[in-house]
């Protein structure tokens, strides 16, 4: 589940639009927000994508 996510790195081509949409995080992370980095980049691997999210999960 998202409770197991310990790191979330977000890459976006449009940071202002990403920040507008970031409210979704409070709906999926019920207990805590993971650590991570948000970066604005020039482009992603597929030109039609605006966001790429990389997550690390810890399961004991």
What is the domain count for the chain? 1
pTM (predicted TM-score):
0.85
pLDDT at 60 over 90: no
CATH of the domain at 15: 3.30.1330.40
Residues 6+ apart with CB under 8 A from 12: 18, 38, 39, 40, 41, 50, 51, 52
Q: How confident is the model at residue 51 (pLDDT cuts 50, 70, 90)?
A: very high
Per-residue pLDDT tens digits for 19-39: 999 988 999 999 899 999 999
Contact yes or no for 3/30 (Cβ under 8 A): yes
Q: In terms of residue numbers, what domain contains 20?
A: 2-57
The number of C-alpha atoms within 13 Å of 44 and in the hemisphere containing its C-beta is 16
């Amino acid at each position: 589940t998202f409770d197991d996510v310990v790191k979330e790195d977000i890459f976006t081509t449009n940071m202002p639009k990403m920040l507008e949409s970031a409210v979704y995080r409070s709906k999926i992370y019920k207990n805590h927000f993971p650590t991570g980095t948000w970066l604005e980049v020039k482009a992603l691997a597929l030109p039609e994508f605006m966001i790429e999210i990389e997550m690390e999960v810890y399961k004991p």
